[in-house]
């Protein structure tokens, strides 16, 4: 190795941008050129993800936030000094001196010193209980102080301030306040109306927001007691987090005689050179194009520019788009392009929906042809699309409001991301264009998100572009005429639907038979439960028999729901929610005998928690002897058919909803499907059983029953849709038979009926045509198939209880008859709970 | 009994039929919980820690086994962290690793080397 020609690079600062510089230099250089890199960091930790700092309070560990472990630096031959800030730069000798006395010579010096919190000079800021929000150390201090605090405030209603306020909420403070000097929140990113919408969303979550407040003094003795404002109001708080902006860390540059701006920042040219051509500045310490870029994407771009220039290229840092999208305490906030431009320089389209907490604004050029910018609050789903339309100067459709409202004419709007120009930026964090991604997909065969992340890093930053990358992959494949199928995994080159047909035609009943016939390799945790579900949906044999036990997913494997600590919960079936006093007593006795925590479920059943694996067969033996059956709470199968009390007791009821619910539940119990199935029967239009939120729901009418399908509760609620009106019981059952079997045979794995319908071409009209009008002529076949499954139903727990062979598998240890000694409980409200995991 | 490596001590864990084919079981050996896997499809046996380092749950033995490319692996039933049965390295999160132990099957008995 030629020692003389080694280029010595010293990086001051090991934050996100400093780290990214090293990563990019390594990636581009691939150890070809003899660079020697030394990094000095002030903090005790290697670079971590400061953007997601607030997740520290939501449970992420410092390690999880780390950009790369210390070993990464060692492996790449980078010397890393932590807790060791550089204190002096000798530009004549071209050397730096660190706090611990290390002296390192450089050929190029990279200043990536970042920024610190700006602390206004308010009397009392030095008191205990006043913090800044910048580093993991700051967070640890806040966390420990918050344990004895009740009321916390954040000074500053900008982006960081609201992040800090979320942290206070996460820490469980009784009151969390935000104090802002300006008239509104996030004045730099969003307009007045957007701020108001954001404010009402945040207030609904329990934040108290105080605007137009100039803090005069932080009151208290040694510790903070409150905040005194100029309008003579006073806020009682016992801790305060200051988040009033950032100040570039340019003090070292000043000492070294580099040009800095009077208001802060190391002045750099378009190549990010400081006034000394051997010294570069990148990230939040650098003042480029007369501004400090306080976002991560431009920081990474700066790292890229310097790396390119050091490796012999010539690249300039251009004024960077400051469009941004983030989630603030659960509320989407985004602004892009020229967000604030006013009429008459543009035409503005605004949409405001206070009921949903949504505000959208787009600014369209005066000729109506281009999108100039906009603001989204409460729903930023269209952000990427709008951003590309704006940046790519895409010609707008004649009704540009469709961009934020969606097309209301029935036809699909736009051609999506495939219509963007090749140089449209898809991943702004890593600066990856549409053309680059399409090239990777089309030419290099990278056709999965993971492969794209690896080969060009798109989607590895904030992750916001992942849906667009997915669309691009599909789009390119479609263009190439590739028939796109959702194949199961590396072991099966088939979709679930294809596999189901193949298994059926060939009459296969074990996993190994399916794998030998149609797969390769040894299977995995994706295809095993999928095949298990198909086998159960086709033959309805006991899922633990033959080779089927070890292919079941976590819960099905032991016919119970695995809970924290490794214990299980037990849910006997209580059809329609109707139960006799005798059976209630049995549940109580069993729970007492086995020390179980009991709770009523949302599905009108009783859940017993904390059962040891080894106790499950005895518990079920007692339940079965009392006439209970498995409730399949652990399975992708019919859970519960909820009912209201109906015409037998209720003075409004028009039909006997309980009897019908029990009939329906008994008919479909044990039916395994691509995902869980929920149902309900209401006795009148008041809909007390909430049937319209179920996979299939039935509502009584004066003349019969109305049938609704494909509803969903959970994280994405969706109302079920009506497919039959005033039908009698027999017709209703026949339609449900067809509906369920059609779903089982055609849905993708782990897809609820609502999502299945949403993806279905033709939607509810098509589904109705198949199920009700039988346009495919498969109605009779579907009915026959489901009747076969119903006919062979057995309570699977009864089979286990009666089989010594199967019972034997229910023990924690194979060699000693003891329970797992690591399981620990603690008391809670006269019952018990399992110890919290760390 | 200690041919392979001088320091390995073999402990009898269970009989072959105690571990389901292509599945796992947990043995209590010297106060430690060891997950044992009978990878019948490959004709191989593996042993690892029973504790998943992600949330410190004693359940690796209850996980599904399989392969990624040719690497034999097990998926923890809690959050589907998957671990190589050969090296113990977590395959979907570099920061986790579990210990692996040698397995010997003789005369229908399964021995674990600690």
Residue B86 is assigned to a structural domain of this protein: yes
Nearest by CB to A525, which of B36, B39, B80? B80
Taking the model in full, what pTM does it have?
A: 0.54
In this prediction, residues A786-801 reach a mean pLDDT of: 94
pLDDT tens, residue by residue, A253-265: 999 999 999 989 9
Residue B66 is assigned to a structural domain of this protein: yes
Distance from the Cα of A557 to chain B's closest Cα (Å) equals 8
- pLDDT at position A414: 38
- Cβ–Cβ gap A524/B64 under 8 Å: yes
Identify whether the C-beta of residue A705 lies closer than 8 Å to the C-beta of residue A660.
yes
Instruction: Give the CA count within 13 Å in the CB-facing half-sphere of A691.
Output: 29
- Using 50, 70 and 90 to split pLDDT, how confident is the model at A18? very high
pLDDT tens, residue by residue, A27-77: 887 656 678 999 999 999 999 988 878 778 777 788 888 998 888 999 888
Nearest by CB to A813, which of B21, B27, B66? B27
- Cβ–Cβ gap B18/A815 under 8 Å: yes
Q: Which residues of A fall within a CB distance of 8 Å from B20?
A: 549-550, 809
Nearest by CB to A815, which of B24, B28, B68? B28
Distance from the Cα of A606 to chain B's closest Cα (Å) equals 23
B60 and chain A in contact, CB less than 8 A: no
A355 and chain B in contact, CB less than 8 A: no
CA-only gyration radius of chain A, Å:
32
B97 and chain A in contact, CB less than 8 A: no
DSSP A394: P
Q: Determine whether the annotation assigns residue A524 to a binding site.
A: no
From the number of C-beta atoms within 10 Å of its C-beta (0-12, 13-18, 19+), residue A193 rates as: middle
In this prediction, residues A232-254 reach a mean pLDDT of: 93
Query: Measured between alpha carbons, how far is A130 from A144 in angstroms, rounded to an integer?
Result: 13
- pLDDT at position A3: 47
B13 and chain A in contact, CB less than 8 A: yes
Chain Cα centroid distance, residue A683: 38
Distance, first Cα to last Cα, chain A:
49
Q: What percent of chain A lies above the pLDDT cut of 70?
A: 96
Residue A466, token pair as written in the block: 């992942």
Instruction: Tell which wins on pLDDT, A532 or A476.
Output: A532
pLDDT tens, residue by residue, A670-709: 999 999 999 999 999 999 999 999 999 999 999 999 999 9
Parent domain of B30 = 10-113
Is 50 exceeded by the pLDDT of residue A377?
yes
- Using 50, 70 and 90 to split pLDDT, how confident is the model at A384? confident
Identify whether the C-beta of residue A682 lies closer than 8 Å to the C-beta of residue A658.
no
DSSP A835: P
- Residue A23 CA: distances (Å) to CA of A17, A45, A48: 10, 17, 13
- pLDDT at position A330: 76
Residue B95 is assigned to a structural domain of this protein: yes
In this prediction, residues A357-373 reach a mean pLDDT of: 90
- pLDDT at position A406: 64
B89 and chain A in contact, CB less than 8 A: no
Residue B82 is assigned to a structural domain of this protein: yes
Instruction: Tell which wins on pLDDT, B64 or A341.
Output: B64
pLDDT tens, residue by residue, A427-450: 877 888 889 999 998 888 888 888
Is 60 exceeded by the pLDDT of residue A481?
yes
Query: Which chain A residue has the Cα nearest residue B38?
Result: A550
B69 and chain A in contact, CB less than 8 A: yes
pLDDT tens, residue by residue, A696-754: 999 999 999 999 999 998 777 899 999 999 999 999 999 999 999 999 999 988 889 99
- pLDDT at position A462: 65
Is 90 exceeded by the pLDDT of residue A460?
no
- Cβ–Cβ gap B57/A565 under 8 Å: yes
Examine residue A344 and say whether the peptide bond preceding it is cis (omega within 30 degrees of 0).
yes
- pLDDT at position A450: 80
pLDDT tens, residue by residue, A76-100: 889 999 999 999 999 999 999 999 9
Identify whether the C-beta of residue A800 lies closer than 8 Å to the C-beta of residue A570.
no
In this prediction, residues A638-667 reach a mean pLDDT of: 95
Q: Which residues pair with B33 in a beta bridge?
A: B28
Query: Which chain A residue has the Cα nearest residue B35?
Result: A813
Q: Which residues of A fall within a CB distance of 8 Å from B95?
A: 63-64, 69
Q: Which residues of B fall within a CB distance of 8 Å from A551?
A: 22, 64
CATH number, domain of B63, equals: 2.102.10.10
B26 and chain A in contact, CB less than 8 A: yes
- Using 50, 70 and 90 to split pLDDT, how confident is the model at A459? confident
Query: Measured between alpha carbons, how far is A230 from A236 in angstroms, rounded to an integer?
Result: 15
Chain Cα centroid distance, residue A520: 32
Packing angle between helix A496-506 and helix A729-746, nearest 10 degrees? 100
The tally of domains found in chain B comes to 1
Q: Which residues contact B3 (CB under 8 A, 6 or more apart)?
A: none
- Cβ–Cβ gap A818/B26 under 8 Å: no
Is 60 exceeded by the pLDDT of residue A282?
yes
Which strand (E) or helix (H) includes residue B65?
Answer: strand B64-68
Q: What is the largest CA-CA distance in chain B?
A: 39
- Using 50, 70 and 90 to split pLDDT, how confident is the model at B2? very low
B85 and chain A in contact, CB less than 8 A: no
- pLDDT at position A837: 67
- Cβ–Cβ gap B59/A490 under 8 Å: no
- Cβ–Cβ gap A837/B82 under 8 Å: no
Q: Determine whether the annotation assigns residue A650 to a binding site.
A: yes
ipTM, two decimals, is 0.91
Residue B28 is assigned to a structural domain of this protein: yes
Q: What is the largest CA-CA distance in chain A?
A: 96
Residue B5 is assigned to a structural domain of this protein: no
Residue B4 is assigned to a structural domain of this protein: no
Q: Which residues pair with A227 in a beta bridge?
A: A218, A235
Q: Determine whether the annotation assigns residue A688 to a binding site.
A: yes
Query: Measured between alpha carbons, how far is A680 from A686 in angstroms, rounded to an integer?
Result: 13
């Amino acid at each position: 190795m030629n020692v003389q020609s080694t280029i010595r690079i010293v990086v001051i600062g090991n934050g996100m941008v400093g780290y990214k510089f090293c990563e990019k230099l390594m990636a581009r250089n691939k150890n070809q050129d003899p660079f020697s890199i030394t990094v000095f960091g002030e903090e005790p930790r290697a670079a971590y993800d400061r953007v997601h700092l607030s997740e520290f309070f939501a449970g992420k560990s410092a390690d999880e936030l780390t950009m790369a472990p210390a070993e990464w630096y060692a492996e790449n031959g980078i010397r890393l000094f932590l807790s060791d800030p550089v204190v002096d730069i000798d530009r004549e000798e071209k050397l730096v001196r660190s706090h611990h006395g290390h002296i390192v010579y450089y050929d190029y010096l990279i200043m990536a010193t970042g920024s610190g919190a700006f602390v206004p000079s308010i009397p009392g800021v030095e008191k205990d209980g006043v913090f800044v929000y910048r580093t993991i150390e700051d967070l640890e201090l806040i966390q420990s102080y918050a344990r004895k605090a009740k009321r916390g405030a954040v000074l500053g209603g900008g982006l960081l301030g609201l992040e800090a306020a979320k942290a206070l909420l996460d820490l469980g403070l009784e009151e969390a306040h935000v104090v802002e000097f300006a008239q509104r929140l996030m004045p730099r990113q969003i307009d007045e109306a957007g701020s108001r919408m954001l404010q009402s969303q945040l207030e609904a979550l329990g934040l108290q927001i105080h605007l137009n407040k100039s803090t005069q003094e932080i009151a208290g003795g040694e510790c903070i007691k409150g905040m005194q404002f100029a309008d003579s109001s006073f806020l009682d708080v016992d801790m305060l987090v200051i988040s009033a902006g950032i100040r570039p860390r340019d003090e070292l540059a000043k000492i070294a005689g580099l040009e800095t701006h009077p208001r802060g920042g190391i002045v750099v040219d378009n190549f990010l050179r400081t006034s000394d051509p051997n010294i570069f500045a990148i990230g939040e310490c650098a003042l480029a194009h007369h501004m400090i870029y306080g976002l991560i994407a431009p920081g990474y771009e700066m790292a890229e520019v310097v790396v390119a220039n050091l490796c012999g290229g010539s690249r300039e840092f251009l004024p960077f788009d400051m469009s941004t999208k983030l989630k603030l305490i659960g509320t989407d906030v985004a602004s892009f392009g020229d967000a604030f431009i006013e009429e008459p320089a543009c035409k503005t389209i605004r949409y405001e929906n206070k009921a949903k907490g949504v505000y959208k604004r787009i600014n369209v050029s005066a000729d109506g042809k281009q999108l100039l910018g906009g603001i989204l609050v409460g729903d930023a789903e269209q952000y990427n699309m709008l951003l590309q339309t704006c940046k790519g100067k895409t010609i707008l459709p004649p009704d540009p409001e469709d961009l934020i409202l969606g097309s209301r004419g029935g036809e699909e709007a736009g051609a999506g991301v495939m219509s963007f120009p090749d140089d449209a930026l898809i991943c702004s964090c890593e600066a990856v264009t549409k053309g680059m991604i399409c090239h990777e997909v089309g030419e290099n065969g990278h056709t999965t998100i993971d492969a794209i992340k690896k080969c060009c890093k798109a989607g590895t930053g904030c992750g916001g572009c992942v849906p667009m990358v997915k669309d691009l992959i599909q789009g390119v494949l479609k263009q190439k005429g590739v028939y796109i199928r959702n194949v199961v995994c590396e072991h099966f080159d088939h979709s679930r639907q294809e596999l189901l047909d193949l298994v059926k035609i060939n009459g296969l009943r074990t996993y190994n038979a399916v794998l030998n016939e149609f797969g390769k390799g040894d299977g995995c945790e994706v295809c095993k439960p999928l095949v298990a579900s198909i086998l159960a949906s086709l033959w309805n044999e006991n899922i633990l028999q033959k080779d089927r036990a070890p292919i079941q997913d976590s819960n099905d494997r032991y016919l119970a729901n695995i809970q924290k600590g490794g214990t299980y919960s037990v849910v006997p079936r209580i059809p329609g929610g109707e139960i006799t006093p005798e059976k209630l007593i049995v549940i109580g006795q069993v729970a007492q005998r086995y020390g179980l925590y009991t709770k009523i479920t949302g599905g009108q059943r009783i859940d017993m928690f904390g059962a040891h694996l080894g106790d499950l067969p005895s518990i079920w033996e007692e339940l079965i002897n009392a006439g209970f059956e498995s409730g399949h709470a652990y399975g992708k199968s019919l859970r519960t058919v909820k009912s209201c009390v109906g015409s037998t007791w209720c003075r409004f009821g028009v039909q006997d909803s309980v009897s019908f619910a029990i009939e329906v539940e008994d008919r479909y119990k044990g039916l395994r499907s691509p995902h869980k199935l929920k149902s309900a029967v209401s006795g009148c239009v008041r809909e007390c059983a909430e049937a319209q939120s179920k996979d299939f729901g039935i509502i009584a009418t004066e003349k019969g029953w109305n049938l609704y399908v494909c509803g969903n509760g959970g994280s994405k609620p969706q109302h079920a849709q009506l497919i039959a009106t005033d039908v009698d019981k027999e017709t209703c059952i026949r339609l449900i038979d067809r509906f369920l079997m059609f779903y089982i045979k055609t849905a993708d794995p782990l897809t609820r009926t609502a999502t299945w319908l949403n993806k279905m071409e033709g939607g509810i009209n098509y589904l109705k045509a198949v199920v009700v009008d039988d346009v495919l002529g498969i109605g009779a076949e579907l009915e026959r198939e489901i009747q076969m499954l119903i006919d062979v139903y057995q309570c699977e727990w009864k089979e286990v209880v009666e089989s010594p062979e199967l019972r034997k598998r229910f023990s924690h240890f194979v060699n000693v008859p003891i329970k797992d000694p690591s399981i620990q409980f603690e008391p809670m409200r006269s019952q018990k709970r399992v110890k919290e995991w760390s | 009994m200690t041919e392979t490596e001088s320091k390995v001590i073999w402990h009898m864990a269970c009989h072959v039929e105690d571990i389901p084919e292509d599945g796992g079981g947990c043995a209590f050996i010297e106060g430690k919980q060891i997950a044992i896997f009978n990878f019948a499809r490959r004709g191989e046996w593996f042993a690892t820690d029973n504790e998943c380092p992600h949330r410190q749950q004693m359940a690796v033995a209850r996980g599904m086994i399989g392969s990624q490319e040719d690497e034999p692996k097990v998926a923890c039933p809690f959050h589907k962290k998957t671990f190589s049965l050969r090296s113990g390295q977590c395959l979907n999160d570099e920061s986790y690793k579990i210990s692996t132990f040698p397995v010997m099957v003789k005369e229908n008995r399964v021995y674990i080397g600690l």
